[in-house]
Chains A and B, each alone.
Chain A
Amino acid sequence: MFESQEYITIKKEELLEKTAPLFKSGHRLVQICCTKLPDKLIMDYSFDKDYKFIDYRIELPLEGASLPSITGIYFAAFTYENEIHDLFGINVIGNALDFGGKFYRINETAPFNKVVKKEVKNA
């Protein structure tokens, strides 16, 4: 048996206004995920309440992508937002606990995703 999942595409400007009501209604932040496609980046913000899974999806350009932080609403987002910055080079604006590219303590310089890093360097 598989659960049904709802994917809703929104604009990045709508992220905070869509997220705030979920917080008020007691939804849990399940995860934030970034997917790199050949021509764009896809961000998924997943929430859950009473086992009902909701996913807000935002499309971002490959170069110079930025997003507002939702840590002012869901503080727990700081881990995901730091990870997304370090892996994909997305600039998350206003992260309440910003590790400045050192969330993962390894020698590699963020962003780790080489293709994105090259593109960011060339931008």
Chain B
Amino acid sequence: MPNRTVIPFGPHHPVLPEPIHLDLVLEDEKVVEAIPNVGFIHRGLELLCEKKPFQDMVLVAERICGICSLVHGIGFVNGVEKIMNIQVPERAEMLRVFWSELSRVHSHLLWLGLAADGIGFESLFMHSWRVRELVLDIFEETTGGRVIFDAIKVGGVKKNINKETLDRILKQLEKVEEEYRQIADVFVNDFTIAHRWSGVGLLTKEQAITLGAVGPTARASGLAMDTRMIKYGGYDKITMEPIVETAGDCYARALVRVREVYQSFDQIRQAISKMPEGGETEAKVTGFPTGEYFSRVEQPRGEVIYYVKGNGTKYLERFRVRTPTFANIPPLVQMLAGCDLADVPAIVLAIDPCISCTER
């Protein structure tokens, strides 16, 4: 039997923007087993529901993640609105879709840049983030924030966007998409990228199901699962099909994200075109939440779940968040078993880990 060595990977590593730790059990250069450890930045945000009124918890939800702040806010209010029987105005629903998809574009561009950086493709990293800045400009103009927002509230949205601004954004989007296409073509066609990621970090469709994979990680293994298909919020008016690749490797995960950016551009245009002119952007909220609901929405990294339970007071009885990275840890353990040590950074990056979310 070959000698086994345990190599610590993380919590600080050049490819990790946030701290996660893996104990890698090696036989020579092959990973035999990977044991994950989280908790380095555990914040206990779920318990804050005992101290903050349910309306204020929107701000907490929006600060769970620094990448998909808005989608967290939407996931939370979606649950509260369900148990309070609040009918959100259609314009507010479409504004939420607009910002959600803009979040997906900027999150995927961030990941594409980090992934390029992870394999030493520095110029592609810088171009990805340059284009991302154009998206953040739109966020800044429409919400006032570039990364963390305060645009969502129970019953609707806090900000509105006038028609002239939306028309200008549509033109800006054309520019962003044109710039993005040049980057996307590199990810799709470059030999080095395909060679580096193809066949690395394999996860079959069956494994994706049994291990509970979500988001691009699941869809890259041929699992056509996208929470937007349950048509929550304004997505009942948005036409879409999940983006699926079947290779189940790191390259497939990258391709899913590359294609999803185009899908999001399309959904942003749909949201703007289906947004009613004028009208309310928030519904009146009276009383306190009573009941419970598992709110499921699709973050850039996959399905996020907000469990909210109200007992008729202004404080929620339970506020629970299951983030996509948390769900993707068991699939990650599976992907790492049997891989080369040199491939570990690429595989870890490929699930687009967000430890800030996971540690909530």
CB within 8 Å of B: which residues of A? 1-3, 5, 23, 26, 28-31, 33, 35-37, 44, 46, 51, 53, 55, 74-76, 78-79, 97, 99, 103-106, 112-113
Contact = CB atoms under 8 A, between A and B. Distances in A.
B212 A74 contact: yes
Contacts of A51: 225, 227, 229-230
Given A1-B236, A97-B35, A105-B37, A30 B293 contact: no
A78 B333 CA distance: 12
A75 B330 contact: yes
A35 B305 contact: no
A76 B210 contact: yes
B320 A33 contact: yes
Contacts of B127: none
B212 A55 contact: no
B179 interface: no
A3 B320 contact: no
Given A37-B317, A79-B329, A104-B42, A74 B229 contact: no
Q: Nearest 3 CB-CB pairs, A to B?
A: A104-B39, A76-B330, A31-B322
Contacts of A113: 47
Given A46-B305, A76-B211, A97-B35, 17 more contacts: A1-B235, A1-B236, A2-B82, A2-B293, A3-B230, A28-B209, A30-B322, A33-B307, A35-B307, A37-B317, A51-B230, A74-B210, A75-B211, A76-B210, A79-B326, A103-B37, A106-B39
Interface string B72-91: 00000010001000000000
A79 B188 CA distance: 34
Interface size class on chain B is: 35 or more
A47 to B, nearest CB: 10
Residue from B230, B293, B303 whose CB has the most chain A CB atoms within 10 Å = B230
Nearest to B218: A28
Given A1-B231, A28-B209, A51-B230, A105 B40 contact: yes
A1 B233 contact: yes
B106 interface: no
A26 B205 CA distance: 11
A56 to B, nearest CB: 13
Contacts of B42: 104, 106
B318 interface: yes
Contacts of A1: 231-233, 235-236
A112 B44 CA distance: 9
A53 B39 contact: no
B333 to A, nearest CB: 8
B9 interface: no
